[in-house]
Structure formats: structure tokens, C-alpha cells
A = this chain, B = another copy of it.
Amino acid sequence: MGKTSAVAARSATVRLVDEQGASGKVRQIFDDIKKTKNLDHVPNFWRVLATSPAHLELIWGQLKALMHPEATGRTSKLDAKTREIIALAVSATNGCSYCVNSHTTALRKQGVDSETLGEVLAIVALFNGTNSLADGYQIEPDVLPPVE
């Protein structure tokens, strides 16, 4: 079973747009989000962006193209699990609470177990560490990709 979410502590700096009241472009995008992501409600992230419809449209467009390529007629060289692993790696590095929860949920839905999650995050931790070492010593790059 899920986790309680009875009251939010942390809460948005804007008032979330209600699904019920949405119309026009916002309604269209809300419906597209639910359809594309196979959800029965619109997540908070999109309800917040809906306070500025032009930007909701831009950002959903970008995320849909990259994370749901098949829904936009695009090809992708990565599978959905890898895309979500990248999302979690970036979000853990940046410490974004909303995003870590969201992408961990997505990975669980894809059957990722606790050992795999542990491995992903241990590697994220390793490279956050080695990044600071390489920068902390100002090491000159010598392992360079071939550029024909």
C-alpha cells in the first residue's frame, strides 16, 4: 500500500489548478498527460505549471517528446527504464524532492527492485564524489572520445 499523504508540509508557491475547472488549452493538456502517462489524475507538477498555460504547453511538449517518444511518432535509442534512471540520477544529484519521488515511482512501476535502486543510487553517489575529486584537483582530461 502507498504512503500517507494527509497533509503537505512543504507546499507550492502558487495555487494548484483544479482539474475539474480546467478548460481550453489547459484541459487539452491535462487530458493528454493522463492519456500519455496512463493516469487517472493530473500530478501536482502539471497542475502548478498550469498557472501559466503557455509554459505548461512548452514544458509538456518537451517532456512528452523525450520521455514518451512513441506517443509523438519519434524513435528512441533508449528504453523507458533507462530514461527514468537518467531522470532519477539527475534529480538525486540536484536534490529535487518532487522529482526523486516521481522517478522512483516510475522505476518501481517498471519492476525495479530495491537492490537495483540501491545500485543506481550508489553509482550516482560514486560519481558525485569523483566529480568533486576531479574538480578538486583540477585534473587535465586525458581520456578523450574519438572525434573523427
Q: Which residues of B contact A114 (CB under 8 A)?
A: 14, 51-52
Given A77-B119, A86-B86, 9 more pairs with CB closer than 8 A: A3-B8, A3-B12, A4-B7, A13-B104, A14-B145, A51-B117, A92-B133, A94-B128, A129-B129
User: Residues of B contacting A105 with CB < 8 Å?
Assistant: 143-146
For the complex formed, measure the closest distance between the CB of A84 and the CB atoms of chain B, giving whole angstroms: 9
CB distance from A92 to the nearest CB of B (A): 3
The chain A residues found within 8 Å of chain B, CB to CB, are 1-16, 18, 43-45, 48-49, 51-52, 54-56, 58-59, 62-63, 65-67, 74, 76-78, 82-83, 85-102, 104-105, 107-108, 113-148
Closest B residue to A5 using CB positions: B8
Quick one: copies of this chain in the complex? 6
* 7 closest residue pairs by CB, A with B: A52-B118, A92-B136, A5-B8, A9-B9, A125-B129, A8-B140, A98-B134
A57 CA to B131 CA, complexed, in Å: 17
- Whether the pair B8, A4 counts as a contact (CB closer than 8 A) is yes
